[in-house]
Amino acid sequence: MYDIAIIGAGPAGASAAIFAAKSGLKTLVIDNDKGVTRRAWFENFYGIAEISGPDLVDRGIEQLKKFGAEYVADEATDAKAEGGAVTITTASGQTFEAKHLILATGFSAALAEKLGVNTKPGTEPRVATIIDVDAQGKTNIANVWAAGTVAGVSVHGIITAGDGAKVAINVISELKGARYVDHDVLKA
Ligand SMILES: Cc1cc2nc3c(=O)[nH]c(=O)nc-3n(C[C@H](O)[C@H](O)[C@H](O)COP(=O)(O)OP(=O)(O)OC[C@H]3O[C@@H](n4cnc5c(N)ncnc54)[C@H](O)[C@@H]3O)c2cc1C
């Protein structure tokens, strides 16, 4: 049983996974590498003068692995939320169980719709359908959250990454029973 399963390893999902794994929670990431970010070139990411989309995505995956998140290259084809746990099935026939699920599936709301999560029309250019979330990133289904483009935020790398971090911090806080902060301090 994972504490947090995340579908999608673009900026939103990878950023969520970095926070979740770094906090010590057992974290799973499932990704089929069909995101839009690999097609981008970034010159507006705070603190990074310029970076290609493929480099950004690859660095994010390296970083989430460094903190102990398990990365599975597969497509999540189905998910069910029952009895306080979420079961995820993949195209290769694997099944995984997690206490919490974060959907960070970019332009695709297909898995959310299979789960029965409430969706609505997107407001960003070319984003047809988004998941209906509250300010914390919670969906209408207990223990199922959403972050990034699929949760309706502005389609920019730094914003989707920040939204993934925000939602992960909210899940971590709920699991640990106290508001969670991840601050490393510069060594003198
Ligand atoms: C051509 C182009 C140029 C851009 N240029 C810029 C720019 O200059 N500056 C900027 O800030 N933004 C830019 N963007 C936008 C930016 O890439 C996105 O806003 C942002 O990175 C999206 O992040 P995300 O994590 O929400 O989605 P994505 O990066 O799309 O990640 C979603 C991930 O979920 C995976 N996934 C989906 N469904 C499943 C499933 N069922 N099972 C497993 N995995 C699944 C996908 O394969 C993907 O890896 C650009 C976008 C494009 C297309």
Q: How buried is 128 (Cβ within 10 angstroms: 0-12 exposed, 13-18 middle, 19+ buried)?
A: exposed
Q: What's the pLDDT at 28?
A: 98
User: Cβ–Cβ contacts within 10 Å for residue 61, how many?
Assistant: 22
Is 159 inside any structural domain? yes
Pairing of strands 70-73, 2-7: unpaired
Whole-number average pLDDT of the chain: 98
Index of the ligand 1 atom closest to the CA of residue 149:
26
Distance 70 CA to ligand 1 centre (A): 20
Q: How many Cα atoms occupy the beta-carbon half-sphere of 21 within 13 Å?
A: 23
Q: Which residue CA neighbors atom 51 of ligand 1 most closely?
A: 40
181 found inside a domain: no
Q: Whose CA is nearest to atom 3 of ligand 1?
A: 40
Note down the domain range covering 49: 2-176
6 within a domain of the structure (yes/no): yes
How close is the Cα of 79 to the center of ligand 1, in Å? 21
The reply to whether 72 falls in a domain is yes
- Cα 53 to Cα 49: distance, rounded to the nearest angstrom: 13
Judged on CB neighbours under 10 Å (0-12, 13-18, 19+), 5 is buried
In a domain, 171, yes or no: yes
The verdict on the CB of residue 30 being under 6 Å from ligand 1 is yes
158 Cα nearest atom in ligand 1: 11
**Can you tell me whether residue 177 is helix, strand or coil?**
coil
Q: Which atom of ligand 1 is nearest to the CA of 42?
A: 8
Give the mean model confidence (pLDDT) for residues 148-174. 98
187, part of any domain:
no
Total domains present in the chain: 1
**pLDDT by residue (tens digit) across 41-64?**
999 999 999 999 999 999 999 999
Residue 94 lies in a domain: yes
Pairing of strands 51-52, 41-42: antiparallel
Q: Per residue in 128-149, pLDDT tens? A: 999 999 999 999 999 999 999 9
Question: Is 113 inside a domain boundary?
Answer: yes
**CATH number, domain with residue 25:** 3.50.50.60
Q: Is 35 in the pocket of ligand 1 (CB under 6 A)?
A: yes
